[in-house]
């Protein structure tokens, strides 16, 4: 009988740790990693804090709560912060796939402040590390921002208009909301060679956009081919009334405009036992004249009135009067019925003319990224930045998420569950968090984009007052059903008009949090949906 083969015995725990370490090593050393900052070592000397007077916030090299992992910490409340790290070489965003990724942990939550990164242009564009501020020219701004009605994971890119030479901010439409907890989250932006942009939060795709699409960015990268003629004026005889009073209609002879809306009910009978001689109110028998009351100065004292207790036991007191009822003869003021206006020409709009600022692009002409900066204003401390990555490959970014972010996130999530149970709320805290998580996802649905601010406002009120959770949930459901009802039963449109982008990209100087435009867009959309054809045909200049 041959010698039995002996198989090696594995320690799976040790093996797993070795695989994780090996994966982390490979991720940090492969050719697809362009830049990586783990903050395992102090940042002084490598990252440069701004010397500008406005930026007094103190950065610290600190451990993430509950971990041995270090990060870059926002240590003080109500401060402006600015710090920058120059790259060894500028990074092009125009060649192949490029991935921008970083982690943040809002250890004290985020009620008002930013936690985003700015990917800066080369210093030749006009900035210095020691003078880094909100005016320093960037190419990409990416990350969480929350304050008041603003609740979004920003993605903004600045692009040089080839016609005007001006740099224009282009904002991603309908960005995802910021996760509403105190756990570590990882944010990923993937630039694809086919002009596609993917935004991921914790590895889950939240947004798929195209840089050249007017539906995805505001203002659009490529201006509209045509614009409304600013010199075109509406003719004086242009009739925009879809309906008019019927000129042939005549008020019926029996139409009484003076008939009252209500009349006395002649059939009403006074209830038996009605107390005609009893007043509805009597003097309070327990009231006494105050000792310091002076009749000459204060006037004759009168006891305060109270409800007559006899009226409470009887059918009523005082003078009985017949109740009023609706007058069957009431018709109100007569108006002629509306008919279709034979002279109706639709809602007037100026004719379209070629846009002098129009240009074509096959792909964005991104400026290279030469540095990574954090320039924020926040009312919260405890914001921790970690594991900042620029890579050429999605798999590399995924590997970093699996080895640097996910283990921490799982630990934090389990700890949060334990704390919720220890709170003694019979699962209410966990239920509330789940409700708000779902509501934030609902707010991100593009279909509800025009109402996102209202929904986020309700959510924010619910988070501050947890006892309102059910009420908030019901309110959001009502909002959604109201929108559906409006869409389904909103009535027929006169004539459908092709929606065209009539705006020209304009330079914006805003940084950080941006004003919302959803309500204006909704009003414009409703106006265009109900409009009839233009006075002149839309010209095809292609």
Span 196-227, pLDDT tens digits: 999 999 999 999 999 999 999 999 999 999 99
Query: Which of residues 162 and 520 earns the better pLDDT score?
Result: 162
Residues 6+ away with beta carbon under 8 Å from 133: 50, 52, 54, 55, 82, 375
497 occurs within a structural domain: no
Q: How far apart are the first and last CA of the chain?
A: 87
Residues 6+ away with beta carbon under 8 Å from 169: 156, 157, 158, 507, 508, 510
Check whether residue 128 and residue 212 sit in a common domain: yes
401 occurs within a structural domain: yes
Q: How many domains does the chain have?
A: 2
Per-residue model confidence (pLDDT) at position 314: 83
Q: What's the token pair of residue 76?
A: 């003080």
Span 307-334, pLDDT tens digits: 999 888 888 899 999 999 999 989 999 9
Per-residue model confidence (pLDDT) at position 529: 42
Residue 203 lies in domain: 17-226+362-417
Domain boundary among 439, 459, 486: 486
pLDDT value at 493 more than 90: no
pLDDT band at 527 (very low <50, low <70, confident <90, very high): very low
Highest mean pLDDT (candidates 64-68, 301-305, 389-393, 425-429): 389-393
Check whether residue 183 and residue 82 sit in a common domain: yes
Span 77-128, pLDDT tens digits: 999 999 999 999 999 999 899 999 999 999 988 889 999 999 999 999 999 9
Compute the mean pLDDT over every residue in the chain, rounded to the nearest whole number: 82
Check whether residue 440 and residue 413 sit in a common domain: no
334 occurs within a structural domain: no
Q: How far apart are CA 59 and CA 383, in angstroms?
A: 10
pLDDT value at 471 more than 50: yes
352 occurs within a structural domain: no
Check whether residue 434 and residue 406 sit in a common domain: no
175 occurs within a structural domain: yes
Q: What is the 3-state secondary structure (H, E, C) of 415-461?
A: HHHHHHHHCCCCCHHHHHHHHHHHHHHHHCCHHHHHHHHHHHHHHHH
Check whether residue 401 and residue 436 sit in a common domain: no
Domain boundary among 470, 486, 502: 486
Per-residue model confidence (pLDDT) at position 442: 74
Check whether residue 434 and residue 412 sit in a common domain: no
Taking residues 386-390, report their average pLDDT. Answer: 98
- C-beta separation of 214 from 358 below 8 A: no
Check whether residue 391 and residue 463 sit in a common domain: no
537 occurs within a structural domain: no
Query: Which of residues 384 and 313 earns the better pLDDT score?
Result: 384
Check whether residue 446 and residue 475 sit in a common domain: yes
Domain boundary among 486, 504, 532: 486
Helix or strand run (H / E) with residue 23:
helix 12-29
Taking residues 420-439, report their average pLDDT. Answer: 64
- C-beta separation of 58 from 78 below 8 A: no
**Residue 391: CATH number of its domain:** 2.60.120.200
Check whether residue 431 and residue 404 sit in a common domain: no
CA proximity to 286, closest of 301, 300, 308, 306: 306
Check whether residue 412 and residue 480 sit in a common domain: no
Query: Side-chain half-sphere of 378: how many Cα atoms within 13 Å?
Result: 30
Q: Where is average pLDDT lowest: 162-166, 285-289, 423-427, 523-527?
A: 523-527
Check whether residue 366 and residue 442 sit in a common domain: no
SS3 content of the chain, % helix, strand, coil (to 5): 25, 25, 50
Q: How far apart are CA 211 and CA 208, in angstroms?
A: 10
Per-residue model confidence (pLDDT) at position 487: 59
Check whether residue 395 and residue 478 sit in a common domain: no
465 occurs within a structural domain: yes
448 occurs within a structural domain: yes
């Amino acid at each position: 009988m041959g010698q039995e083969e002996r198989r090696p015995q594995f320690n799976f725990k040790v093996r797993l740790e070795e695989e994780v370490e090996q994966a982390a090593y490979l991720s940090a050393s492969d050719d697809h990693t362009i830049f990586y900052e783990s903050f395992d070592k102090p940042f002084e000397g490598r990252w440069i804090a701004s010397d500008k007077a406005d930026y007094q916030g103190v950065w610290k090299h600190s451990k993430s709560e509950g971990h041995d992992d270090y990060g870059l910490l926002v240590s003080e409340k109500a401060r402006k912060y600015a710090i920058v790290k120059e790259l060894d070489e500028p990074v092009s965003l125009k060649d192949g796939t490029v991935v921008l990724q970083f982690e943040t942990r809002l250890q004290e939550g985020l009620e008002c402040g930013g936690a985003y990164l700015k990917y800066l242009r080369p210093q030749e564009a006009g900035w210095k590390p020691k003078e880094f501020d909100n005016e320093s020219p960037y190419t990409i701004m990416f990350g969480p921002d929350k304050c008041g009605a603003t609740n979004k994971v920003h993605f903004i890119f600045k692009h040089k208009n080839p016609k005007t030479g001006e740099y224009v901010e282009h904002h991603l439409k309908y960005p995802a909301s910021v996760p509403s907890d105190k756990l570590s989250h990882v944010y990923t932006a993937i630039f694809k060679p086919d002009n596609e942009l993917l935004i991921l939060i914790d590895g889950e795709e939240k947004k798929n956009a195209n840089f050249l699409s007017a539906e995805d960015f505001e203002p659009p990268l490529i201006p509209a081919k045509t614009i409304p003629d600013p010199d075109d004026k509406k003719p004086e005889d242009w009739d925009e009334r879809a309906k008019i009073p019927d000129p042939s209609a005549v008020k019926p002879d029996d139409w009484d405009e003076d008939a009252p809306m209500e009349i006395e009910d002649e059939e009403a009978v006074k209830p038996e036992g009605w107390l005609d001689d009893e007043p509805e109110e009597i003097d309070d028998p327990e009231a006494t004249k105050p000792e310091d009351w002076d009749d000459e100065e204060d006037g004759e004292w009168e006891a305060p009135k109270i409800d007559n207790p006899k009226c409470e036991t009887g059918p009523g007191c005082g003078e009985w009067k017949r109740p009023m009822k609706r007058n069957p003869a009431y018709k109100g003021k007569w108006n002629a019925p509306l008919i279709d206006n034979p002279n109706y020409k639709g809602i007037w709009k100026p004719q379209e003319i070629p846009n002098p600022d129009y240009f074509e692009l096959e792909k964005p002409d991104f400026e290279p990224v030469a540095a990574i900066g954090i320039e924020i204003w926040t009312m919260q401390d405890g914001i921790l930045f970690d594991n900042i990555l620029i890579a050429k490959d999605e798999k590399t970014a995924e590997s970093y998420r699996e080895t640097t972010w996910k283990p921490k996130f799982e630990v934090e999530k389990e700890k949060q569950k334990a704390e919720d149970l220890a709170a003694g709320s019979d699962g209410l805290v966990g239920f509330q968090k789940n409700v708000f998580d779902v509501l934030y996802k609902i707010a991100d649905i593009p279909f509800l984009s025009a109402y996102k601010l209202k929904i986020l406002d309700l959510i924010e009120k619910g988070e501050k007052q947890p006892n309102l959770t059910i009420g908030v949930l019901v309110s959001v459901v009502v909002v959604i059903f109201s929108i559906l009802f409006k869409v389904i039963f909103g009535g027929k449109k006169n004539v459908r008009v092709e929606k065209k982008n009539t705006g020209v990209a304009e330079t914006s100087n805003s940084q950080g949090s941006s004003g919302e435009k959803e309500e204006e867009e909704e009003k414009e959309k409703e106006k265009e949906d109900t409009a009839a054809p233009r006075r002149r045909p839309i010209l095809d200049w292609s």
